[in-house]
Each structure stands twice: as C-alpha cells, then as structure tokens.
Structure 1
Amino acid sequence: MKNGLLLLLLLLSAGWVRGQRIYNLPNVQPNAADFENIFTLPLESDELSSSFVIWIKKSVPAHFHREHSEQVLVLAGEGIIQMNGQGYRIVAGDLINIPKGVAHSVSVTSQEPMKVLSIQSPRFDGKDRVNLGQ
C-alpha cells in the first residue's frame, strides 16, 4: 500500500514538475546556423495554448487563423505589422493582440532579424491558418 501511494505521488509530481519551465528569452537563440526568412522554435504546447520564439529576417505573409487568437511580444528588431489593412510600427517591448479571424502580416524594417514571442490559444497545429496569397 505504501509503495502504491508513493508511486502515485511520483507520477503526479512528474507531470507537475514537467510543466514548470523558465525561459530567459534574451538568451534563447535559433538552433539553425542560418535560415532564409523565418525560423520558429517551439517552447511549450498543450491543449490550451502553444508558445514559440520566432525570428523573421524579411516578412511574414498575410494570413489569419480561424480558430485561435495570438499574442506577440516583440523581443528584438523593428517592423510594420498589418492587421486588417491597417499598418502599425512595432518595436522591442510592444505586445500585439491578434484576435481570431484578423488578417495580419509583418515586414521587418530593422537590419537585425525581428525576434518575437508568439503565444497562441488554443494549441496551434497550423490547420486553421488561412494564407491570403501575397
């Protein structure tokens, strides 16, 4: 009985500990030596949300998501984000909320790649992404 309880506690705590992570985002770097335009590094994902660090050298083509919203925190670089046809200048420190169904694209204007934290809810699997062909 004692061993069974101990095993149950270990199994439950393993799931709890696994979910506890801390990322020092300024030190997170792409694990590819070079990339042409966009590099995406998945951080975490469960049924409720997904988080990624994304580096963008040039642009993200126009698209929208049918089923999920996205929050983007600019960590480095500068650019212009288009949302439903309206352009906004974005810089490090800006937080952008993109509700589901809102068309959006990004053009990088800085010499350095733009680095962002993207948190998407619910889990992002790419199936609800609708490219707008630009």
Structure 2
Amino acid sequence: FAYDQGTINFSVLLGSSQIVMLQRIRETLAGRVFMYELWPLMLSELVGGEHPSPLTLLARLCEEEGDADALLSDQPPVLLGEEAYRRAFWFDYGLRWGGMPGLLELTDSDRRDWLASYANTYLE
C-alpha cells in the first residue's frame, strides 16, 4: 500500500520526542512532522463520560466491609442527589489525578506509578 495511491486512510503516531526541545536535531523535518497538542480531559468530559460511576453512599454502605460510622464520617453533613455526587466525585478526581485519559482505568497505586514515571520522563 502506498500513501500516494490514496489507499491508506489513517494516521500513525510514532515516537514521543519533544521535537521543539531537541537541541541537536539534524534535520528540519519540514513537511514530515505535524504537532498536535492534546489537552487533558475537562471536568465536563469526566462527568459526562462513560466511565464507571462512583458508588453512591447507599451502595458503599451495603457493599463495603467495615464500620458504617467510619464510612459516614467522611461524608458531608448534607447529602446531595446522585448527579451532584457524581460531579463532586469527578471534581475531586480531577484535583487529585488530573485529566490524563490513561489514568481512568488504573488503580490509585498504578496512577501514582504512572504519574511518577511521567514526571521522571518529561520533567527531569
């Protein structure tokens, strides 16, 4: 298959180098590189997405083992409806983990590892 023949109708992303930051780039890569900046997920995307819904308070009381008083002590004094709870959950999630899509399906431990690796790779 050749791109010139028009039989390829997809794009392939290879590599993860920061072209702009490479100091010793030997070629200009003019016409061969396209830079597209991907932004993290917004709160509205987290709330409206098809991610596993957080457990409601009633579901947590029924399903989680342990002392109900300890579980209830973490709750605000005023209980909100399910939609408000979902928004608050994803707001807290965004503050804690950010909006990187790859983190959604990971456990908290795996998220910490992923973010540490990200920081080591790009920020150090």
Question: TM-score w.r.t. structure 1 length?
Answer: 0.28
More helix per residue: 2
More strand per residue: 1
Question: TM-score w.r.t. structure 2 length?
Answer: 0.30
